[in-house]
Amino acid sequence: MASYLVLTPPGGPEADHARTRFVRDAFSFIAFLFPGLWLLSKRLWLAGVLALVLQGLAGAIAEQSGFFFAGSALALALSILVALEGPSLVVGDLERKGWTLDGIVVADDIDGAEELYFNDAATAVTTPSAPDWNALPASNGIRRAANPALGLFDFDGGR
């Protein structure tokens, strides 16, 4: 199963959700094979040009005597980085353009993700809030500390 990040356009979603985008947040095999071109196809111009330059640099390093493994490692690292973090770059670019991350859906495919998202949006239920531990009365003669606890945990005597 993959997770899909759901983004709504600037100004909120339309009534028919025609522009709502689902971005699959998983390893992209095409981005692994062609990192620079994949970034350019997603309209990430700066990152795409930088990836192409780094790919060229990796090739030039690999051609030098004794540096084949260094150039290959650079090319492999770039491919893995773009394949894993490429979808996050796409989401970040959309958020900078005013899109809003509306939710995350876990599904087998895009059709299942859309079905889950739109069905849950129609039947959304508010989740209960956590209890207010400070509003509980002191019982059994237990006195609550007035000052914060010394250490990592501070329960203020409530439980």
How confident is the model over 24-62, as pLDDT tens digits? 999 999 999 999 999 999 999 999 999 999 999 999 999
What residues pair up with 3 in beta bridges, in sequence order? 25, 106
What's the total number of domains in the chain?
Answer: 1
In a domain, 63, yes or no: yes
Residue 64: which domain range?
2-127
**Distance between CA 87 and CA 26 in Å, rounded?**
7
In a domain, 102, yes or no: yes
**Structural contact between residues 104 and 5, judged by C-beta atoms closer than 8 angstroms:** yes
pTM of the model: 0.69
Alpha carbon separation from 43 to 21, 28, 147 (Å, rounded): 15, 16, 54
Residues 6+ apart with CB under 8 A from 68: 62
69-97 pLDDT, tens digit each: 999 999 999 999 999 999 999 999 999 99
Alpha-carbon torsion, ordered 69, 72, 74, 79, to 10 deg: -150
> Binning pLDDT at 50, 70 and 90, where does residue 141 land?
low
In a domain, 139, yes or no: no
What residues pair up with 2 in beta bridges, in sequence order? 107
In a domain, 155, yes or no: no
Of the candidates 85, 75, 73, 31, the one whose C-alpha atom is nearest the C-alpha of residue 53 is 75
**Distance between CA 37 and CA 92 in Å, rounded?**
18
